[in-house]
Amino acid sequence: MTEAASPGIVIAGAGIGGLAAALALHARGLRVTLLEKAPEIRSMGVGINIQPAAIAELTTLGLGERLAATGIATREHRYIDHKGTTLWSEPRGIAAGHDHPQYSIHRGELQMMLLDAVRSRLGADAIRTATRVRGFDQDDNEVRVHISSPSSGDSVLRADVLIAGDGVDSAIRAQLHPDGPPLRRTPVRMWRGLTELPEFIDGRTMIIASDDRANRMVGYPCSWPHAERGEVLFNWVCLAADPDWQGEAQLSPGKLEDLLPHFADWDFGWLDVRATLESSPQLLHHVMVDRDPLTSWGEGRVTLLGDAAHPMYPIGANGGTQAILDGIALAAELADAGDEVPTALQRYESVRLPATSAIVEANRRMDRSERTLAEGVVGDVADELETIASDYRDVVESRSITRS
């Protein structure tokens, strides 16, 4: 087994969180190498929302113009019923008084934007694809990252720091926390798609729709290039409780015959829901999962980031945002680390672990509250929706702060 000299900081995973962390670390003068198990990083997935706190950080990293040229600056969240009647609405981003927008953007486009910036600033060799992290061992002076690739087989990469940004199935997390909480599966199935439409409200509004069976649909425009052509790329997510379904929880191709019965009587009048769902060229399916928060993330020179640290429900649109904020906070602490890397990682954890744990719990509460409200258990819908949204904002915005 061969050993290579230290590349400084190693990040496992070149997703949104890992790439953002690499840019933030590089901006503070630190050497970074990313290891990505996929043989090629391609634009994949559907839409994602990035909240103003993370947009502020990405703008500081020089990506503001590209974000504006790629995503949609969301103006409003509009809560509606399954017939399209507005129940309540709230302003978002700039309209809500933030200094930066909330962007709805294609996940793959955001990842490619970050990837291009990393390759441009750090060099093309800063990212090693087709390289899987198998595990690690460490001492007071370094961490040895055990990797494998088709071209070079098994080898060891010596580094100063190892950051696990390799998702919910992280091998690093599994080694650090072999008895840690498993993925927590819910009965909620989710289907995702992208549909091109001629128009959608004002082109900047997100809808959150529900019926009295607690079926839900979230949808929003997510492409500024489409808007410039007078079109809409509409990202949609449908959620339905199906306690009897026992299939795999992971992301996989979905089937319309499974999805459509839950939304058979939905029609907004101004949007044909069935036709919108049927017109997506790709249908993705998974079960909503998260994990109970850990009491600690890392050890010594190794730590966690993003979904490897805190997988959360996709309720409240905060997963990508919190991964970006992890990377910003991590860079701030490591820039001041000197020879005290473990102490810097402990500082990072002391800031980000309680913040993200609170958001994991807030997402669970928001999910329960929305489903309860949809089933008609509580009274005034507008007042209840305002309370749900306000309580969630109080938790998230007070914890979406990084050290500058």
Show the CA angle centred on residue 305, arms to residues 303 and 308, nearest 5°. Answer: 95
Question: What's the CA gap between 175 and 177, in Å, rounded?
Answer: 6
Per the CB < 8 A criterion, the answer to whether 242 and 215 are in contact is no
pTM: 0.95
More confident of the two residues 152 and 225: 225
* Residue 334: CA count within 13 A, CB half-sphere: 28
Calculate mean pLDDT across residues 91-97. 96
Per the CB < 8 A criterion, the answer to whether 343 and 301 are in contact is no
- What are the domain boundaries of the chain? 2-182+291-399
Q: What is the pLDDT of residues 243-273, one digit of tens each?
A: 888 887 788 999 999 999 999 999 999 999 9
Q: Both ends of the chain: CA-CA distance in Å? A: 41
Q: Which residue type sits at 49?
A: N
* Residue 279: CA count within 13 A, CB half-sphere: 14
Q: Which pLDDT value is given to residue 23?
A: 98
Tell me what the pLDDT averaged over the chain comes to: 93
Question: What's the CA gap between 293 and 354, in Å, rounded?
Answer: 9
Phi, psi of 400 (to 5 degrees): -95, 50
Question: What's the CA gap between 222 and 77, in Å, rounded?
Answer: 14
| Residues in a beta bridge with 192 | 237, 284
Q: What is the pLDDT of residues 28-72, one digit of tens each?
A: 999 999 999 999 999 889 999 999 999 999 999 999 999 999 999
Residue with tokens 């590089």: 26
Q: Which residue type sits at 393?
A: R
Question: What's the CA gap between 169 and 163, in Å, rounded?
Answer: 14
Question: What's the CA gap between 298 and 308, in Å, rounded?
Answer: 11
Calculate mean pLDDT across residues 277-300. 96
Let me know if 310 is exposed, middle or buried by CB neighbors in 10 A (0-12, 13-18, 19+).
buried
The conformational region for residue 254 under phi > 0 = left, psi -120 to 50 = alpha, else beta, is beta
> Is domain 2-182+291-399 given the CATH code 3.40.1310.30 in the classification?
no
Q: What is the pLDDT of residues 341-356, one digit of tens each?
A: 999 999 999 999 999 9
| 376 — pLDDT class (breaks 50, 70, 90) | low
